Structure 1
Amino acid sequence: MTSTSTDRRPSGLVTGSLIAISFGTVFIMVNSGGLPAPWPLVIRVAGAIAAVVLLIAVFRKDRATTGGPPARGFSDKWFRIILAAEVIALFGGLYLINGVWGRPSLGVAWIATVVGIHFFGLARAWRMPLYHGLGAVMTVLGLAGFAIYAMDGSDAAIGLVAGVGSGVALFGTVAVAIRK
């Protein structure tokens, strides 16, 4: 069987961007609901528009890009190790936060922190320096969510900073990646 340009695998840019846009959209949609009207609607519509614009830009960039070395990806040993550690940290931490300590408003801060930290490992494993910046931003946003909680801030404020902020960070990383 011969290979054609229509049956090629998606580039690392496309795959990584689709994941970032998907999770960024989830962060924005799920964590904007606690704000007073009309902000949840405004933020969700803006997030949806940004996601669509980024998707179009990613696929345009991919069509214009000519090959390159194959990307190390999901089959990489280090990816699997990093992902396993992330899943254990996420669900172990969420069990403690929700089930033991009864502090569900901290869930998004925990998720942002763990996801942020996992990007440092991915940056090293995949030689993607851009992920260091994303990891730093998401980790700081997650820790800021914990700080807001410690200062008796509202659940909506935690969601806005740690959740919506993380979604914006993911979208921003895609925007930077497609400009390169």
Structure 2
Amino acid sequence: MTGQNDNRRLSGLMIGSLVALSFGTVFVMVNSADLPAPWRLVIRVVALLIAAVLLVRLFRTERAVAPTRESDIRGFADRRYWYAVLGEIIALFGGLYVINGVLKKPEVAVAWVVIVVGVHFLPLAWAWRLPLFYWVGGVMTVLGVAGFLAYAAGASAGTVGLIAGVGSGFTLYAAVLMGIRDAHARARRPDRNVV
């Protein structure tokens, strides 16, 4: 089937959603490993089903929704994006070195990763004018802090992984769903079709 969108580049919705679905699935799969049976399997199956449904909806949305008009947002070419990524890399590996190498507390490594990833969404929300990223960054940061607090209260590594890691995976799935919903809402209001 041919259509008006066949030869255009992938949209920001498509690229961002594919990244979110990938990282969300990794967060869930890796951080559910320490959970007891049957919960580990149940959470993983539910996550894979959600990811598959979202992927189908994403491709349908990409085909059905007209591309947005050009804007001054430069995406990955934006210098602010690369500053955010550089800060994320430094904070991520520096913090993991301290947590794993100095403090010898690998149980909270995922909580640190989630905080860093969450915080990195905040400058991207500003640079790309994506209010959804404020929500994603805020929720992930709170989940990371909650993972640290749970550990301080005596929670196991599995519980920390469930709160910070699995919670963040499902947060990324929710972000994809909200992005799809927003794309459909913009398509119904062509006068506001600017990113």
Scaled by the length of structure 2, the TM-score of the pair is 0.88
Residue 6 of structure 1 deviates from its aligned partner by: 3.3
Partner residue in 1 for 2:152: 150
Aligned to 1:49: 49
Mapped pair 1:28 → 2:36: no
Corresponding residue of 2:191:
none
In structure 2, give the amino acid aligned to 1:176: M
Residue by residue over 1:62-104, the C-alpha shift from the partner in whole angstroms, topping out at 9 and shown as x without a partner, is 1111121345311111000100000110011011111111100
In structure 2, distance between residues paired with 1:69 and 1:103: 48
**Aligned letter for 1:14?**
M
Distance in 2, matches of 1:65 and 1:162, equals 34
State the partner residue of 1:91. Answer: 93
User: How far apart in 1 are the matches of 2:38 and 2:67?
Assistant: 45
**Are the equivalent residues in 1 in contact too, given 2:5–2:63 (CA < 8 A)?**
no
Match of 1:14 in 2: 14
* Aligned counterpart, 2:186: none
Q: Indicate the residue corresponding to 1:126 in structure 2.
A: 128
Which structure 1 residue ranges, 5 or more long, are not aligned? none
Tell me the matched-pair count. Answer: 177
Distance 1:37 1:175 in 2: 29
Give the partner amino acid of 1:23. F
CA contact (8 A) 2:5 2:66 kept: no
| Aligned-residue RMSD, C-alpha | 1.1
CA distance in 2, matches of 1:9, 1:107: 37
CA distance in 2 between partners of 1:75 and 1:144 (Å): 34
Mapped partners of 1:46, 1:154: distance in 2: 23
Q: How many Å separate the matches in 2 of 1:130 and 1:33?
A: 29
Deviations 1:92-128 (A, max 9, x none): 1011111111100111000110111111111001000
Please give the per-residue CA displacement for 1:145-169, whole angstroms capped at 9, x wherever unaligned. Answer: 0001111111111000000000000
Q: Deviations over 1:2-32 (max 9, x none)?
A: xx84342100000000000000000000000
Structure 2: gaps (5+ residues): 183-195
SS at structure 1 position matched to 2:100: helix
What TM-score, normalized by structure 1, do the two folds share?
Answer: 0.95
The structure 1 segments of at least 4 consecutive aligned residues displaced by more than 6 Å after TM superposition are none
